[in-house]
Chain A
């Protein structure tokens, strides 16, 4: 079955700097890759996603890249703000039956 790894497990950046979180997946059949942000005590919130027929997608300060050959995908946050502090989860889905496999999460701290 699918296995998703995520690095780093914790990340601390200065406000205004960029943050990068990297994930790998094992199942080449996976073709949908969402990213979720989870603040303490709250539900995971979908922040951006990418499909396997796209190499890069950007939404304001957030961008995702996907390398299907290497089975790598990454989240890039630019101009970080304190409100970006949260746990971020990458995930992979094989869309024939919508089973989403999450990575273990990255705890991002943005220092003012």
Chain B
């Protein structure tokens, strides 16, 4: 198992609500990436945070936002939830060095929007 943790494990929300998901990166890692994985599909890149700043974003609307804290943990916030936001949300941590790009995933948060 990796040292990446996520909370909560499962979450049920109603359409229109807001949600915050949390990720603690592996010790020594300074970069956190967030992915959305719909059932039966590959993870889709949402965005990445490096040294507390957004460092790249996928094709997700602005209601998906994030934060990274000085200890490199991170939050994913989703506003105005839609039914299609139901998915497994994964975070992955990595260490940005010149030669290392391995990303290690957390166990994910299963979000259900009703």
Contact = CB atoms under 8 A, between A and B. Distances in A.
A100 B33 contact: yes
- Which DSSP category, helix, strand, loop or mixed, fits chain A's interface? strand
Nearest to A4: B42
Contacts, number: 60
Contacts of A82: none
Interface string B44-59: 1100101000011010
Interface string B25-39: 000000101010000
Interface residues of A, number: 22
A99 B42 contact: no
Contacts of A97: 48, 55-56
Contact of B103 (A42, A46, A103, A105): A46
Size class of the contact patch on chain B: 20 to 34
A102 B55 contact: no
B18 interface: no
A68 to B, nearest CB: 17
A73 interface: no
A101 B45 contact: yes
A36 B90 CA distance: 13
B42 A98 contact: no
Contact of B101 (A32, A45, A104): A32
Nearest to A2: B45
Contact of B104 (A32, A46, A98): A46
B53 to A, nearest CB: 12
11 contacts: A32-B101, A34-B102, A43-B90, A43-B108, A44-B105, A98-B101, A98-B103, A99-B48, A100-B33, A100-B45, A102-B35
Interface of B: 2, 31, 33, 35, 40-45, 48, 50, 55-56, 58, 90, 92, 94, 96, 101-108
Interface of A: 32, 34, 36, 42-46, 49, 89, 91, 93, 95, 97-105
Given A97-B56, A98-B48, A100-B43, 11 more contacts: A34-B103, A44-B105, A49-B101, A95-B101, A98-B50, A99-B48, A100-B33, A100-B92, A100-B103, A102-B42, A105-B41
